[in-house]
Amino acid sequence: MVAAMDTERARFNMIEQQIRPWNVLDPAVLELLSVVKREDFVPAAYRDLAFADLEIPLGAKPGQTMLAPKIEARILQELSLRNVDTVLEVGTGSGYMAALLAAKAEYIYSVEIDPTLAETARGNLGQTGIANVSVETGDAAQGWACSAPYDAIVLSGSTPILPEALLRQLKIGGRLVAIVGEAPAMQVQLVTRTDEDAFNTSIVFETVVAPLINAEQRKKFVF
């Protein structure tokens, strides 16, 4: 009982001390962070750090991490999901963000390039009883055309530039949130498709996270 109380206190502190001060004020998002148990998606070796303000390693390769809780929460808020939305997540990781997305949207297509992580995510989601997520094994750095178009797209790793193919897989009115740029200057961008060939982009905040495997690179100038 004491351990359970400690866990709930740590969750409460994460929400009130890390997430709410980061302008995450949507009551539905804050409630969701209380309901979806982050610790169920953290590797056992790092379970004590489930609510810490840091990235948690997930796999053997550099950059395979869970994003810090405040970044996950802010991305979720910016997507403004509805219960009729179909969402593409690029980079499943442990499945935690997919679980958050699934609680707000109708269906999630989550694509993970690492087969081991994809299998772990399926297990985590299955154990928590989440049924409206399909975890696919593959490379979605350029999108996942077979299930397009989407109401929302989220990238769980950074990309030096936003591929045109990803933008074209948004429905009109659809939203995409991605961390764009190269260290030390990256921006979380919210892109809304306003027409067939029109996109509105706003900068949400700045951060630095590891890039997606096979993320599209900027063309280098050769002199």
pTM passes above 0.75? yes
Convert the pLDDT of each residue in 175-213 to its tens digit. Answer: 999 999 998 989 999 999 999 999 999 999 999 998 888
Domain limits of the chain?
2-207
Q: Apex CA 39: angle with CA 8 and CA 5, to 5°? A: 20
Question: CA-based Rg of the chain, rounded to a whole angstrom?
Answer: 17
179 contacts 209 by C-beta, under 8 angstroms: yes
Sequence-ordered list of residues with C-beta below 8 angstroms from that of 136, at least 6 positions apart, any chain: 109, 110, 111, 112, 118, 144
| pLDDT above 90: residue 119 | yes
Class of 2-207 per CATH?
Answer: alpha beta
